[in-house]
Amino acid sequence: MKKLIYLIAVFLGFTSFAQGPLHIYNYSSYDIEGRLFANSLTNCTPEVFTFYKVPAGTLVDIKSFNLSNLANPPINSWAFRTSTPVINVPVPSGLLITMGNLTRWHFYWFKTKFAGTSLDTGDPDFNMGDQHFCGDTTSQDYIHGVVTEAKWYYDSTTNETTLIVKDI
Protein backbone atom coordinates (compact mmCIF):
# COMPACT_ATOMS: atom_id res chain seq x y z
CA MET A 1 0.00 0.00 0.00
CA LYS A 2 2.86 2.38 0.83
CA LYS A 3 4.39 1.72 -2.59
CA LEU A 4 1.10 2.51 -4.31
CA ILE A 5 0.75 5.79 -2.42
CA TYR A 6 4.37 6.65 -3.24
CA LEU A 7 3.83 5.89 -6.96
CA ILE A 8 0.69 8.01 -7.04
CA ALA A 9 2.55 10.89 -5.35
CA VAL A 10 5.40 10.63 -7.88
CA PHE A 11 2.91 10.55 -10.77
CA LEU A 12 1.07 13.59 -9.43
CA GLY A 13 4.38 15.39 -8.97
CA PHE A 14 5.33 14.78 -12.58
CA THR A 15 1.95 15.76 -13.96
CA SER A 16 1.76 18.93 -11.90
CA PHE A 17 4.82 20.21 -13.78
CA ALA A 18 3.91 18.61 -17.10
CA GLN A 19 4.24 20.61 -20.27
CA GLY A 20 0.94 22.14 -21.31
CA PRO A 21 -0.21 22.59 -24.89
CA LEU A 22 1.11 25.28 -27.20
CA HIS A 23 -1.28 27.09 -29.53
CA ILE A 24 0.18 29.01 -32.47
CA TYR A 25 -2.51 31.01 -34.24
CA ASN A 26 -1.07 32.57 -37.37
CA TYR A 27 -3.96 34.77 -38.48
CA SER A 28 -1.56 36.74 -40.69
CA SER A 29 -1.18 36.50 -44.45
CA TYR A 30 2.52 35.66 -43.94
CA ASP A 31 4.40 32.46 -43.14
CA ILE A 32 6.33 32.41 -39.88
CA GLU A 33 9.44 30.29 -39.38
CA GLY A 34 12.05 29.95 -36.71
CA ARG A 35 13.20 28.07 -33.62
CA LEU A 36 10.72 26.84 -31.04
CA PHE A 37 12.14 26.22 -27.53
CA ALA A 38 11.07 24.69 -24.23
CA ASN A 39 13.24 24.77 -21.10
CA SER A 40 13.25 23.81 -17.47
CA LEU A 41 11.64 26.39 -15.21
CA THR A 42 14.52 26.27 -12.73
CA ASN A 43 17.46 26.63 -15.12
CA CYS A 44 18.10 26.51 -18.84
CA THR A 45 18.46 22.74 -19.07
CA PRO A 46 17.04 20.46 -20.13
CA GLU A 47 16.32 22.28 -23.36
CA VAL A 48 14.17 20.93 -26.19
CA PHE A 49 13.97 22.76 -29.52
CA THR A 50 13.21 22.48 -33.23
CA PHE A 51 12.91 24.56 -36.38
CA TYR A 52 9.23 25.14 -37.16
CA LYS A 53 7.39 26.81 -40.04
CA VAL A 54 3.74 27.81 -39.72
CA PRO A 55 2.07 28.78 -43.01
CA ALA A 56 -0.10 31.88 -43.34
CA GLY A 57 -3.60 31.46 -41.94
CA THR A 58 -2.73 28.28 -40.02
CA LEU A 59 -3.91 27.47 -36.50
CA VAL A 60 -1.67 24.94 -34.74
CA ASP A 61 -2.24 23.04 -31.51
CA ILE A 62 0.79 21.14 -30.19
CA LYS A 63 -0.36 19.00 -27.28
CA SER A 64 3.15 17.80 -26.32
CA PHE A 65 6.54 16.99 -27.83
CA ASN A 66 5.56 13.35 -28.13
CA LEU A 67 2.33 14.16 -30.01
CA SER A 68 3.81 16.96 -32.14
CA ASN A 69 3.77 14.68 -35.19
CA LEU A 70 -0.05 14.96 -35.05
CA ALA A 71 0.01 18.77 -35.32
CA ASN A 72 -0.58 20.40 -38.68
CA PRO A 73 2.08 21.06 -39.87
CA PRO A 74 3.73 18.17 -37.98
CA ILE A 75 6.96 18.24 -36.02
CA ASN A 76 8.67 14.88 -36.51
CA SER A 77 11.83 15.39 -34.46
CA TRP A 78 13.20 17.54 -31.67
CA ALA A 79 16.72 18.39 -30.55
CA PHE A 80 17.41 17.76 -26.88
CA ARG A 81 20.22 19.11 -24.71
CA THR A 82 21.18 18.78 -21.07
CA SER A 83 24.68 19.98 -21.93
CA THR A 84 26.69 19.55 -25.10
CA PRO A 85 26.26 17.68 -27.42
CA VAL A 86 22.73 18.00 -28.77
CA ILE A 87 20.78 14.77 -29.31
CA ASN A 88 18.17 14.53 -32.09
CA VAL A 89 15.08 12.60 -31.00
CA PRO A 90 12.38 11.33 -33.41
CA VAL A 91 8.70 11.53 -32.47
CA PRO A 92 7.29 9.54 -30.64
CA SER A 93 9.84 8.81 -27.92
CA GLY A 94 9.86 7.99 -24.22
CA LEU A 95 12.56 10.63 -23.77
CA LEU A 96 10.18 13.28 -25.13
CA ILE A 97 7.53 12.22 -22.62
CA THR A 98 10.07 12.69 -19.82
CA MET A 99 11.19 16.06 -21.20
CA GLY A 100 7.56 17.19 -21.39
CA ASN A 101 7.35 16.63 -17.64
CA LEU A 102 10.45 18.73 -16.98
CA THR A 103 9.96 21.70 -19.31
CA ARG A 104 7.58 24.46 -20.31
CA TRP A 105 7.29 26.36 -23.60
CA HIS A 106 9.84 29.16 -23.40
CA PHE A 107 9.99 31.02 -26.72
CA TYR A 108 9.54 30.96 -30.49
CA TRP A 109 12.10 33.11 -32.27
CA PHE A 110 10.75 33.59 -35.78
CA LYS A 111 10.74 35.74 -38.90
CA THR A 112 7.80 36.55 -41.16
CA LYS A 113 8.08 35.55 -44.81
CA PHE A 114 5.88 36.31 -47.80
CA ALA A 115 3.57 33.29 -48.03
CA GLY A 116 5.03 30.39 -49.98
CA THR A 117 8.43 32.08 -50.43
CA SER A 118 11.68 32.52 -48.53
CA LEU A 119 11.51 36.33 -48.85
CA ASP A 120 11.54 38.34 -45.60
CA THR A 121 8.71 40.84 -45.11
CA GLY A 122 10.81 43.53 -43.47
CA ASP A 123 9.41 42.73 -40.03
CA PRO A 124 11.99 42.51 -37.25
CA ASP A 125 12.90 39.15 -35.73
CA PHE A 126 10.13 38.15 -33.35
CA ASN A 127 11.62 36.68 -30.17
CA MET A 128 8.30 35.86 -28.57
CA GLY A 129 8.36 34.20 -25.19
CA ASP A 130 8.38 34.16 -21.45
CA GLN A 131 11.02 36.27 -19.70
CA HIS A 132 10.20 34.80 -16.29
CA PHE A 133 12.58 31.86 -16.28
CA CYS A 134 15.99 30.74 -17.46
CA GLY A 135 17.46 34.23 -17.07
CA ASP A 136 15.88 35.36 -20.34
CA THR A 137 15.84 39.10 -20.91
CA THR A 138 15.47 39.19 -24.68
CA SER A 139 12.07 37.55 -25.24
CA GLN A 140 9.00 39.77 -25.48
CA ASP A 141 5.33 39.01 -24.90
CA TYR A 142 4.21 41.61 -27.49
CA ILE A 143 5.91 42.95 -30.62
CA HIS A 144 4.46 45.37 -33.17
CA GLY A 145 6.31 44.81 -36.44
CA VAL A 146 6.10 46.38 -39.89
CA VAL A 147 3.39 44.12 -41.36
CA THR A 148 2.43 41.90 -38.40
CA GLU A 149 2.11 41.98 -34.64
CA ALA A 150 2.44 39.11 -32.20
CA LYS A 151 1.33 38.33 -28.65
CA TRP A 152 2.65 35.48 -26.45
CA TYR A 153 1.01 34.56 -23.18
CA TYR A 154 0.98 31.77 -20.63
CA ASP A 155 -2.16 30.84 -18.70
CA SER A 156 -1.09 29.33 -15.38
CA THR A 157 -4.62 28.11 -14.64
CA THR A 158 -4.81 25.88 -17.72
CA ASN A 159 -1.02 25.47 -18.20
CA GLU A 160 -1.43 26.55 -21.84
CA THR A 161 0.81 28.81 -23.88
CA THR A 162 -0.56 30.78 -26.83
CA LEU A 163 1.09 32.76 -29.61
CA ILE A 164 -1.12 34.93 -31.81
CA VAL A 165 0.26 36.52 -34.98
CA LYS A 166 -1.90 38.82 -37.11
CA ASP A 167 -1.61 41.43 -39.84
CA ILE A 168 -1.41 45.08 -38.82
Reported pTM: 0.86
pLDDT in tens, the chain (168 residues): 555 444 444 444 444 446 899 999 999 999 999 999 999 887 788 999 999 999 999 999 999 999 999 999 999 999 999 887 899 999 999 999 999 999 999 999 999 999 999 999 999 999 999 887 777 678 999 999 999 999 999 999 999 999 999 999
Number of domains in the chain: 1
Give the pLDDT of residue 84: 76
The three state secondary structure string of 53-76 is: EECCCCEEEECCCCCHHHCCCCCC
Give the pLDDT of residue 1: 52
Give the pLDDT of residue 15: 43
Instruction: Name 136's Cβ contacts closer than 8 Å, sequence gap at least 6.
Output: 106, 107, 129, 130
- Name the phi and psi angles at 102, rounded to 5: -110, -5
* Full residue range of the structural domain in which residue 115 is found: 2-167
